């Protein structure tokens, strides 16, 4: 069956295959029971994301000028990125040391039994000094990134972590200095790939 520029669906029993075409890039998404369309990110979306990562307070008019679209068109794209969960939120980047959070540390946590993994992760959601909680491979079950006021508050936090059911061991590494700390993703490679695809 030939495919046009718009999405076309082939239904087999309760399964749906959805083909979407954007800027000559084809994405095949497979769904059970009911179809759901996902709009692919194009090079303009990537440019908007790059701008917002570097300056979250950029005016729509300034973004529109940079990507050569109207402000309403940019707003529609930003809303699409928000609804799709690609933009997860907006926040100020705060210098921890200047607001009394002088200690940054990484804590490796070992959990004895698999059944305690989810309980531990749920409890870490309630700890405000725990900024990140990652389930990892290796000797530890989890790696935590924490920021605390001082060594005393860090020691108390460690005591709380060790008291969680299932925790068998913790290893703490205190940060002495920080050369780089960022959550911004490198989107240059994706932009380059989109540009190359458009030239072909």
Architecture of domain 96-174: 2-Layer Sandwich (3.30)
Contact 113, 62 (CB under 8 A): no
For residue 102, the model assigns a pLDDT of 96
User: Over 80: is that where the pLDDT of 14 sits?
Assistant: no
Its sign, for the CA torsion 126, 127, 129, 134, is negative
Please, where in the chain does CATH 3.30.70.920 lie? 96-174
Contact 49, 90 (CB under 8 A): no
Contact 90, 56 (CB under 8 A): yes
Average the pLDDT over 133-158 and give the result: 97
Please, where in the chain does CATH 1.10.10.10 lie? 8-90
Helices (H), 27-83: 43-54, 60-67, 71-83
pTM of the model: 0.71
CATH tag, 8-90: 1.10.10.10
Grade residue 194 by pLDDT with cuts at 50, 70 and 90. low
What is the spatial distance between Cα 36 and Cα 34, in angstroms, rounded to a whole number? 7
Average the pLDDT over 115-140 and give the result: 96
For residue 183, the model assigns a pLDDT of 86
Q: Classify residue 40 by its DSSP letter.
A: P
User: Over 50: is that where the pLDDT of 10 sits?
Assistant: no
User: Where is pLDDT greater, at 85 or 194?
Assistant: 85
Rounded to the nearest integer, the mean pLDDT of the chain is 82
User: Over 60: is that where the pLDDT of 16 sits?
Assistant: no
For residue 187, the model assigns a pLDDT of 87
For residue 44, the model assigns a pLDDT of 94
User: Over 90: is that where the pLDDT of 21 sits?
Assistant: no
CA-based nearest residue to 71, from 46, 48, 92, 42: 48
Contact 179, 132 (CB under 8 A): no
Q: What whole-number percentage of the chain has pLDDT above 90? A: 66
Model confidence pLDDT, tens digit, residues 52-81: 998 999 999 999 999 999 999 999 999 999
């Amino acid at each position: 069956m030939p495919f046009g520029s718009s999405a076309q669906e082939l239904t087999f029993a309760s399964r749906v295959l959805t083909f979407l075409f954007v800027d000559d890039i084809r994405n095949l998404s497979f769904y059970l029971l009911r179809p759901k369309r996902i709009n692919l990110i194009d090079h303009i979306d990537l440019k908007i994301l790059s701008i917002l990562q570097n300056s979250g307070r950029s005016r729509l008019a300034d973004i529109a000028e940079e990507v050569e679209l109207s402000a309403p068109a940019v707003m529609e794209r930003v809303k699409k990125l928000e609804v799709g969960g690609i933009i997860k939120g907006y926040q100020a980047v705060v210098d921890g040391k200047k607001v009394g959070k002088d200690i940054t540390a990484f804590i490796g946590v070992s959990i004895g039994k698999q059944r305690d993994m989810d309980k531990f992760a749920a409890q870490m959601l309630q700890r405000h000094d725990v900024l990140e909680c990652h389930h990892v491979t290796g000797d530890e079950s989890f790696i935590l990134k924490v920021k605390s006021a001082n060594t005393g508050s860090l020691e108390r936090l460690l005591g709380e972590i060790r008291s969680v059911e299932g925790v068998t061991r913790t290893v703490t590494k205190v940060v002495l200095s920080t050369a780089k700390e960022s959550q911004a993703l490198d989107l240059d490679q994706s932009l380059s790939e989109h540009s190359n695809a458009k030239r072909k």
